Chains A and B, each alone.
Chain A
Amino acid sequence: MSMTNPTIRVQSTDFDLTAEIATLTAGRKDIGAVVTFTGLCRDEQGALSALELEHYPGMAEAEMRRIGELAIERFSLVGLTAIHRFGKILPGENIVLVIAAATHRQAAFDGASFVMDFLKTSAPFWKKEHAADGQKGDWVSAKDTDDAARDKWQ
């Protein structure tokens, strides 16, 4: 059986969830479950006007691919797409997309969750907040809860 190859993209432009699912499932008859996760930019009750996403070009893609391959192997996924945006992102806009496909639902749910938990803690992206009052805000701090979410898979 050939190993599933993840589709990994790091891009400044938006993505189309429906189109990405269609691409992943086109011509396939082995997929029984597709789970998607989309992460969006929040306005933090009006305090935030934008997020600026910085990334480490090259390493960001490589790390996302490594995480994707781990998920494919661990959960026997038959399809995986992970897309992460960079640059300036406004509240309401998309930041990240994960699509996990499997023969049964639990593997697809777990695969998508696993990819997100590892992506947050080890893919080289950093968020800077722009405040609604025009002030350039602070870099977002890493959360212990994200480390805990990742560690629960070990």
Chain B
Amino acid sequence: MTVKLVYFAWVRERIGRQEEDLDLPATVVTVRDLLVHLTTLGEEYENALQFPDVIRVAINQEHAEHDEPIAGAREIGIFPPMTGG
């Protein structure tokens, strides 16, 4: 499955890019699987996602829990807790 990943704030800065299309192995089923998979892609991903519990994820621009499946996702946003307002 190929999915567009978009990164924001310090996740974007640490990974060093704003977005990318990634081919995911079939073993990546949930949001949590995705975060674990990304940490295997290099030091910059490990640095960005070393504390996965604080990382927030949106599937197709809607907030998603870590145990949610990513099947059918076109775009997955990965970012730190929000600090707007």
Q: A56-B6, A62-B61 are in contact. Are A127 and B79 (CB under 8 A)?
A: no
Which residues of chain A from 43 to 63 have a CB within 8 Å of any chain B CB? 53-56, 58-59, 62-63
Interface readout for A123-137 with B: 1 if CB under 8 Å, 0 if not? Answer: 111111000000000
> CB within 8 A of A125: which of B6, B58, B63, B84?
B84
A39 proximity list for chain B (CB < 8 A) = 85
The interface size bin for chain A is 20 to 34
Q: A54-B8, A124-B8 are in contact. Are A59 and B58 (CB under 8 A)?
A: yes
How close is A24's CB to chain B, nearest CB, in angstroms? 20
Please report the C-alpha to C-alpha distance between residue A3 and residue B85 in the assembled complex, in whole angstroms: 25
- State whether the Cβ of A122 lies closer than 8 Å to any Cβ in chain B: yes
- State whether the Cβ of A95 lies closer than 8 Å to any Cβ in chain B: yes
Chain A contact residues, majority secondary structure: mixed
Is A139 a contact of B58 with CB atoms below 8 Å? Answer: no
- State whether the Cβ of A141 lies closer than 8 Å to any Cβ in chain B: yes
Interface residues of A (CB under 8 A from B): 39, 53-56, 58-59, 62-63, 84, 95-96, 116, 119-128, 139-142, 146
Interface residues of B (CB under 8 A from A): 6, 8-10, 58, 61-63, 77, 79-85
17 more contacts with CB within 8 A, not counting A39-B85, A128-B9, are: A56-B58, A56-B61, A56-B79, A58-B61, A59-B62, A95-B85, A96-B85, A119-B85, A121-B82, A122-B82, A123-B82, A125-B83, A125-B85, A126-B82, A126-B84, A127-B84, A140-B83
